[in-house]
Amino acid sequence: MKAHTKETQATLTPEKALLFLKEGNVRFQNNLKANRNLLEQVNDTSTGQFPFATILSCIDSRVSAELVFDQGLGDIFSIRIAGNFVNEDILGSMEFACKLAGTKVIVVLGHTSCGAIKGACDDAKLGNLTTLISKIKPAVRAVKLPEEAHLRNSSNIDFVNSVSEKNIYMAIDNIREQSSVLRDMESEGTIKIIGAMYDLNNGFVTFY
């Protein structure tokens, strides 16, 4: 499989780009890999890059977007931050990726049993991590469960995963609300902005 070129990138629609990711995850689940020569892709991309997707994911070491979607060099922009939320710098990176570099789809990729989400559920405090976790707390508050304290913390994995899902949707809302560039591109049909959840138990990605 060759690295994408300006010509191949230009032929892609947001729907086709999303299909590439879905097909790649199926290969990953079945322990298969597309036939690609990474060293050849190093050479092919040495003078330029034409990725088709931008993926915002958590820093979790088990959730590498390139691996779980079976993609090669030059295929995706990978933005990683604990808790996969957006801020001004990440939005700027996404605007570059889509408006200037031509990617067709933005995926906000959360995952089950997320440590950052657990920290937000437990109101953890540790140095600069305290500020980071505060960005996730709106998702914790937004998930409606019985108010018993033992249900609304990291010991309740269903609650944790519900917060992870809510956090994905809130990140998507923030992208649309805080970036007129990306909102307009989505309205025009140039890009698609979607959410997805990676299951640590089986490697399956569920798209929302």
Q: Write down the domain spans for the chain.
A: 6-113+163-207
Residue 111, helix vs strand vs coil: strand
Q: What is the mean pLDDT of each run of 10 residues along the chain (208 residues)?
A: 88 97 97 90 91 98 97 96 98 98 98 98 96 97 77 93 98 98 98 98 97
pLDDT digits (tens, 9 = 90+) for 89-123: 999 999 999 999 999 999 999 999 999 999 999 99
Q: Per the annotation, where are the binding residues?
A: 58, 60, 111, 114
Residue 130 makes CB contacts below 8 A (sequence gap 6+) with 124
pLDDT at 122: 96
Query: Which token pair is 18?
Result: 């999303």
- What is this structure's pTM? 0.94
Secondary-structure class of domain 6-113+163-207 per CATH:
alpha beta
Q: Per the annotation, where are the binding residues for Zn(2+)?
A: 58, 60, 111, 114
Provide the CA 92 distance to its chain's centre, in angstroms: 15
Sheet arrangement for strand 76-80: 76-80, 53-57, 105-111, 192-198, 205-207
pLDDT at 148: 62
Query: Which token pair is 125?
Result: 């405090």
pLDDT at 137: 97
